Structure 1
Amino acid sequence: MGSRARGGIIDGAGLLLVVLMSQSSAAAQDPKQKNSYVQNIELCNGSAHTSIEARIEGCTELIGAGRDSAAALPIAYNNRGNAYTAKGDYDRAIQDFDQSIKLNRTYTKAFNNRGVAYLRKGEYDIAIEAFDEAIRLDSKYSGAFANRAEAHLKKNEFDRAARDYDEAIRLDPNLEAAWNGRCWTRAILGALQAALDDCNKALQSTSNSAAAYDSRGLVYLKLGQLGAAINDYSSALRFDPSLASALYGRGLAKRKTGDEAGGDTDISAARRIQAGIGDDFTRYGVR
């Protein structure tokens, strides 16, 4: 699939409200403790571009204090899990999501986010099981459908991915990641005009998405519009110079225009980043 997720990953974050202070008599009676408590809530919520380490620290303080309600603790574990996921510490993230779910068996965001952690860890079947449960609990959870589609893409289950993207978009037409993911999926399946429409829709929402330009580049490559493909791949590489699929696709397009040297350079660079990228493109129907 290249080096970047097609549809993006959607992390559902919980929100710990400041009114939780009323649940702690000690915090209410001690102004210093009250201020510290409010600050930890804000940190755990990830307010104001809070750093990952500060988010973890704020959630840890709330969890360790052990004085919040049964509704608040699952959120604190979920939010800390999200921070660990952002840090790339997937095992700790999964432990926190497990604890969040143990405390609240119907907390859909924790199931979704556990799926995200397993997806990033490369354990796709377990990720799908988590997304399945999130969707079972909330059949309108568009993000979980988009995330499950991503897991199916990773397993080369393109028809299943397309169906999940269809549902994600039906539930939330403003979900940019799903439009991009469906563009890529449709391009692989050969529904090229529909794929092009999806990519254009994704790029209307954001003009700085390497993945969206990369997806549209594949569409143009398969349509034989080589100049447009090279332009889109170059745009993708401006935002992500190490995106193997964009390098390889641009290399193929350059070769087809007669630029053998330029094509070989791009393809060699792509293979250094991802050794099996050529096999991926063969599977996509491009040689």
Structure 2
Amino acid sequence: MWKSPVVLLTLSVLACTSAGAPPATTGSAAPQASQRARACFDAASADDGATQTTVAMCTAAIAEKPDHPAVMADLLLARGIAYRNQGDFPEALADFDQSLWLRSDSISTANMRAWTFREMGEYAAAEEAYSQTLKDQSLKEQVAESRSVWQAFLSRCVVRQDLGHFSLSADDCEIALQGRRDEDSLYFAARAYNRLERCAEAVPLLEEALMLEPVLSRIYGELGFAYGCIGNSQRALTVLEEGLERFPGDEGLQAMRRWVIGI
């Protein structure tokens, strides 16, 4: 299953407590704030379901009002992630907005904000948010170097599929594939091609995805569909049966197998 994009927290607090950091104004206040910030980042990165604890940790760190804007931006980002993980979407958006106000060039934070709209079911708002991030056409050239840029293109690809905009989705996924050919990129590109009846283009992407680990049942299902779409029912059934051996009882694969038998 597709999951929310992962944010690699920059942990600016570490930089601010080492060389080049502003000097502490009072004895132990700065070290305590740093420890709270570190606890906030660690808890948000763990994503272990203890979101209320994470919110409390981050709120305590934010209350210290760190002087460095990058530290505060990261704290707000981390708390926003925790809020979103527990379904408090308005609070998450408020923290992401404040974080972006402090660090407007953070594509990672913008991605988290956009994906929040998607989790709220507001797909058009999510697409608009990603498009705002990607309005600089030169970002296409950075997709291989920047994970955040790659994530933005891939996530907009997914959101455009939510909206049924498969041609635009395929364009985004093709760009994402230039950056990383992982299971998500291969699957969603192939899914767009299948929905556009460009099934012959989907087949090699899905065959490539079968070589990756872990393989999800959706790869077998989409590949079975692609082979059925191009008229190769025998290969479609072979793929689906292999999938059912690996994922016994999978209802999606069973339904796809019945479809192939019936064509």
TM-score by length of 1: 0.72
- Name the CA distance, whole Å, in 1 between partners of 2:259 and 2:209: 28
Structure 1 gap ranges (5+): 259-286
The equivalent of 1:14 in structure 2 is: 9
Q: Which residue of 2 aligns with 1:275?
A: none
2:257 is the alignment partner of 1:253: yes
Q: Give the paired residue count.
A: 245
1:40 matched residue in structure 2:
37
The equivalent of 1:278 in structure 2 is none
* RMSD of equivalent CA atoms: 3.0
Q: Residue 58 of structure 2 aligns with which residue?
A: 59
* Matched-pair contact (CA < 8 Å) for 2:84–2:116: yes
Evaluate the alpha carbon distance shift between residue 256 and residue 95 of structure 1 in structure 2; reply closer, same or farther with a 3 A threshold.
Answer: same
**Separation in structure 1 between the aligned mates of residue 159 and residue 102 of structure 2, nearest angstrom:** 26
| Aligned mates of 2:37, 2:90 — CA distance in 1 | 23
Q: Which residue of 2 aligns with 1:220?
A: 227
Relative to structure 1, the CA distance from residue 125 to residue 78 in structure 2 (aligned partners, 3 Å threshold; closer, same or farther) is same
Inter-partner Cα distance in structure 1 for 2:157 and 2:245: 25
| Equivalent residue runs for 1:94-133 within 5 Å | 94-133=93-132
Q: Distance in 1 between matches of 2:245 and 2:10?
A: 36
Counterpart-to-counterpart distance in 1, 2:25 and 2:118: 41
Counterpart in the other structure of 2:145: none
Partner of residue 265, structure 1: none
Higher relative contact order (CA 8 A, sep 6+): 1
Match of 1:30 among 25, 28, 31: 28
Counterpart in the other structure of 1:180: 187
Q: Distance in 2 between matches of 1:255 and 1:194?
A: 21
Question: Cα deviations across residues 84-115 of structure 1 (Å, max 9, x unaligned)?
Answer: 33333323221211121222222222211111
- Partner residue of 1:196? 203
Structure 2 counterpart of 1:270: none
What is the percentage of aligned positions where both structures have the same residue? 18
State the TM-score, normalized to the length of structure 2. Answer: 0.78
CA–CA distance in 2 between the matches of 1:235 and 1:101?
A: 47
How far apart, in 2, do the equivalents of 1:76 and 1:210 lie? 37
Q: What CA distance in whole angstroms lies between the structure 2 residues aligned with 1:204 and 1:58?
A: 41
Q: Deviations over 1:24-51 (max 9, x none)?
A: 7267x329x7367335314324477363
CA distance in 2, matches of 1:191, 1:235: 28
CA deviations on 1:180-234 (whole Å, 9 max, x unpaired) are 1101111222222321211232333323324333332332343424423433553
Q: Which amino acid aligns with 2:154?
A: A
The CA distance in 2 between the partners of 1:249 and 1:149, in whole Å, is: 24
1-side partners of 2:77 and 2:58: how far apart?
A: 9
Shift of 1:117: 0.6
User: Is the 1:39–1:58 contact (alpha carbons within 8 Å) kept by the matching residues of 2?
Assistant: yes
Q: Distance in 2 between matches of 1:118 and 1:220?
A: 34
Q: Which moved more, 1:123-132 or 1:91-100?
A: 91-100
Shift in CA distance, 84/198, structure 1 to aligned 2, threshold 3 Å: farther
Does 1:209 pair with 2:204?
no
Task: Map 1:235-274; keep pairs closer than 5 Å.
Answer: 237=247, 247-248=251-252, 250-254=254-258, 256-257=260-261
Q: Pick one of 202, 213, 234 that aligns with 2:244.
A: 234
SS in 2 for 1:136: coil
Report the equivalent of 1:72. Answer: 71
Unaligned ranges ≥5, structure 2: 143-148
